[in-house]
Structure 1
Amino acid sequence: MRVEEIYRRDLNLLVALQILVEERSVSKAADRLNLSQSAMSRVLGRLRSLLSDPLFTRQGQHLVPTEKALSMSRALDEPLGSLRQLLSPLDFDPKSCDQTFTILTTDYALQTILPFALPRIYQEAPNVAFEFLPLQDEHLKEQLTYGRADLAICRPIYSIEPLHYETLGRVGVSCLLSKQHPLANQQMCLEDYLNFPHAMIAISDGVKALIEQALENEPKRRMILRAYHLEAALAIVDTMPIIITVPADLAYLVSERYDLAVKPLPFHFTPFDYSMIWHPRCEHSPAQEWLRSIVKEECGRLIAKRVIDMGLDAEADTTALPE
């Protein structure tokens, strides 16, 4: 198709398609475009005619995009992102920014990493707001692509292409025990670790799989509890002789708060990389470039300090991000 033929097309329809895919709702898309619901329905009709595809089917109160709609949305990400950059002001002033940033995160990162960046963020940009949403490992790409999230902070378990990422630092693993635990006042050996019951927290970003990989030739541990929040394990830590395996810096923070003992793993375990991840459409956004720079600087410095304070091996081979 020649350039002059593109000029004769209503390219606003493509913007409407992108928003419909993001919202999965005619009424919500209408609100974002400042249109009536009937006008938005007519836009959808014109899109169906233009692209020769139904684009959406209805499931309850939601629209389910067809493969053609999803394919078009993916193809539009980069050009629409470039247009946003071209049409946005070149100068970014954090003090006048009133954007709400949506960040996908694990409970671990929300407790031990992000809070330490927030004071500087609010100092530089007092009018910004944040919405933190639970990260779903299997759907990370979809959450960043269609969920309008700006950033994810985690250790990705599945492939993240074509997302962009930057490593924040290394995270090790330690064990939490009650001070009444039989091992609280003695060194824990591998046999101890294998014989006592365990609790594993889902905030650990795939730590369970990494632990099992390191122990693949050893007998299986007795896992009596697996939960999303650490509080579930802490509720029974004084009543059963459990070992709770969590990221090391979380272990140290929690041990001070709940008067628990911290023990190193009694076998070799390579610390893993923790990263921030974003969609290519966010790459050149001045506001998000500013946010990523602060998260990188503040959280990276924090993680590096903890590596030193806790004696983690900063020179160990990294666990590569999945491609």
Structure 2
Amino acid sequence: MHVMHTLRADLNLVPALAVILEERHISRAAARLGLSQPATSRALQRLRALLGDPLLIRERDGYRLTARAQVLREQLDLVLPALEALVAPDDFDPSTSTMPIHLAGTDFVVQSYGPAICAALMRDSPASSVRFHSWRYDSMAEQMHRGSVELGLFGVYAPSDLSMADVVTEQFVCVVDADHPSTGPALTLAEYCECRHLVIDVTDGLQPDVDLPLHGRGYRRSAAVTVPYHSAVPPILAGTDLVATIPGSLARTWPGDHRVRVLDAPAEIRRLTYRMVWHPAYDNDRRHRWLRSTVRAAVLTAAATPG
């Protein structure tokens, strides 16, 4: 009862506890919380006294969680998003907000849409820092549930317990080395499936918006090379017979700097829908509605601007 009374009296301790347990590092936790290192250290001391547990134990290579802290972290992953939405102020003014903004996306998202997103967010909320987290589909749901990422941008479907909205439709194209033996401006589905492919690992070694439609038609492509980054494609294609399937807005910026050719992808896999995903606890939160609206408008602006 004493613990609950204290946490009710100072709800700032709850997100502080979650971030400290996740980062296991005072300076990184302070940066995410928007606090000074001394203030974050004081919060940790209060939590240690309140919970009767050291929470973090120093080791040679950093800190590890105590057994009690591990249990607390699992519990906080479930309740923190709903709690943050519950105690958030009903009104929100981005121009005065100092809350950090945490986004996630592939390197394509950051390169193609990141400049417009950052410009819009820094214009409307100049005191808020913006952080793009590395995209990992296998941990995306966990990031959302524990509140370390507020909004994700990607081209695959989200788990059913998260909210999602389509933002923009890209068109896939195929990119090959300038001396690739293909001669036409496009690849048919049969030709495409006979090629050796350079695959971007978006989810479990696949590009879902490419591979799932293929599988649905009874086709599979041969992945000769798989990489985690779109930016790695041009140098790996050089001098090979590989085919990479890439969003057209990105691929069309490459021929001036790389010896590649851009071909139309088969019609069966040409469409790529980019989506926003977030925790449903933020569906009606005013700050998050502003964030979604601003990011959506920035992405649409970037997509409409020739590369």
Query: What TM-score bracket applies, with the shorter chain setting the length?
Result: 0.7 to 0.9
Q: Which runs of 5+ in 2 are unaligned?
A: 31-36
Contact 1:168/1:296 (<8 A) preserved: yes
What is the CA-CA distance between 1:155 and the residue it aligns to?
Answer: 2.8
Verify: 1:16 aligned to 2:43, yes or no: no
**Percentage of matched positions with identical amino acids:** 17
Amino acid at match of 1:16: L
2:47 aligned residue: 40
What is the CA-CA distance between 1:105 and the residue it aligns to?
Answer: 1.1
Cα 1:284–1:59 shift into 2, 3 Å: farther
2:142 aligned residue: 142
Q: Distance in 2 between matches of 1:266 and 1:33?
A: 54
Work out which of the residue numbers 61, 64, 68 in structure 2 matches 1:62: 64
Work out which of the residue numbers 83, 90, 99 in structure 1 matches 2:87: 83
1:110 aligned residue: 110
1:273 aligned residue: 273
What is the CA-CA distance between 1:37 and the residue it aligns to?
Answer: 4.9
Amino acid at match of 2:18: V
Q: Map 1:1-323 to 2 at 5 A.
A: 9-10=5-6, 11-12=8-9, 16-24=13-21, 25=24, 35=42, 37-45=44-52, 61-63=63-65, 65-66=69-70, 70-71=74-75, 74-85=78-89, 90=91, 92-94=93-95, 96-161=96-161, 163-202=162-201, 208-216=207-215, 220-258=220-258, 260-269=260-269, 271-283=271-283, 286-303=286-303, 305=304
Contact 1:100/1:128 (<8 A) preserved: yes
Amino acid at match of 1:62: R
Cα 1:243–1:152 shift into 2, 3 Å: same
2:34 aligned residue: none
State the secondary structure of the residue aligned to 1:239.
Answer: coil
Q: Which runs of 5+ in 1 are unaligned?
A: 49-53, 310-323
State the secondary structure of the residue aligned to 1:138.
Answer: helix
Amino acid at match of 1:181: H
State the secondary structure of the residue aligned to 1:193.
Answer: helix
Number of residue pairs matched?
Answer: 289
Cα 1:106–1:174 shift into 2, 3 Å: same
What is the CA-CA distance between 1:183 and the residue it aligns to?
Answer: 1.4
Cα 1:258–1:156 shift into 2, 3 Å: same
Q: Which has the larger radius of gyration?
A: 1
State the secondary structure of the residue aligned to 2:93.
Answer: coil
Query: C-alpha deviations, 1:259-292, integer Å up to 9, x for none?
Result: 5322122351262432222234545555443332
State the secondary structure of the residue aligned to 2:108.
Answer: helix
Contact 1:203/1:228 (<8 A) preserved: yes
Contact 1:57/1:66 (<8 A) preserved: no
Cα 1:69–1:295 shift into 2, 3 Å: closer
Cα 1:80–1:302 shift into 2, 3 Å: closer
What is the CA-CA distance between 1:81 and the residue it aligns to?
Answer: 2.5
Amino acid at match of 2:93: F
Q: Distance in 2 between matches of 1:288 and 1:158?
A: 18
State the secondary structure of the residue aligned to 1:263.
Answer: strand
What is the CA-CA distance between 1:98 and the residue it aligns to?
Answer: 4.5
State the secondary structure of the residue aligned to 2:266.
Answer: coil
TM-score of the two chains, using structure 2 as the length reference = 0.75
Amino acid at match of 1:179: A
